């Protein structure tokens, strides 16, 4: 697993699975492989998700460089979307209806195969969000919660 900066993250105790080591994917016009051996279960705000590495295909050959989903999406020209789990498509079958390959969003495919890795995708019920901070008075303000810029604009309105 990479951290997006080219550094490798070692995942401890990756579970064994019965999935192929590489699953063919595409994003835009770029093709590559999702590397199932790099799957790691993570949680953000109590919600579980699976991170995996990808490798790009150029002229039918692997580039050899492992990258995370965001990097793969960026190389494909879809980086502005920032939702690689939706823009990266797993090619499920080589020939679907009318000779076109069947595709599935990577996020959907990963959730469907979470049990293959032994991952528990249920939300963390013990997660409690941090309390929201109240608006505090600005240092330069006699009015609570008003920015200096907003105060200047208000002052200009009164002068006119």
Residue-wise pLDDT for 71-112, tens only, equals 999 998 888 878 899 999 999 876 556 667 788 999 999 999
Instruction: Provide long-range contacts, Cβ within 8 A and 24+ apart, for 150-153.
Output: none
Say what the pLDDT of residue 144 is: 59
Say what the pLDDT of residue 136 is: 58
Sign of the Cα torsion 15, 50, 87, 73 reads: negative
For residue 52, give the nearest of 62, 42, 40 by alpha carbon.
40
- Whether the CB-CB separation of 81 and 72 falls below 8 Å is answered with no
For residue 85, give the nearest of 128, 21, 42 by alpha carbon.
42
pLDDT at 5 over 70: no
Domain boundaries defined on the chain: 22-117, 134-160
């Amino acid at each position: 697993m990479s951290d997006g900066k080219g550094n490798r993250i070692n995942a401890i105790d990756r579970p064994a699975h019965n999935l192929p080591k590489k699953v063919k994917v595409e994003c835009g016009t770029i093709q590559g492989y999702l590397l199932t051996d790099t799957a790691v279960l993570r949680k953000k705000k109590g919600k579980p998700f699976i991170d995996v590495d990808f490798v790009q295909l150029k002229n039918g050959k692997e580039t050899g460089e492992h990258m995370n989903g965001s990097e793969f999406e960026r190389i494909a020209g879809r980086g502005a979307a920032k939702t690689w789990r939706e823009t990266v498509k797993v090619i499920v079958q080589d020939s679907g209806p009318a000779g076109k390959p069947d595709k599935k969003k990577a996020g959907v495919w990963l959730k469907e195969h979470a049990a293959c890795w032994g991952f528990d995708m249920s939300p963390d019920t013990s997660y409690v969000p941090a309390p929201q901070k109240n608006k505090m008075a600005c240092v330069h303000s006699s009015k609570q919660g008003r920015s200096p810029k907003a105060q200047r604009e208000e002052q200009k309105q009164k002068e006119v």
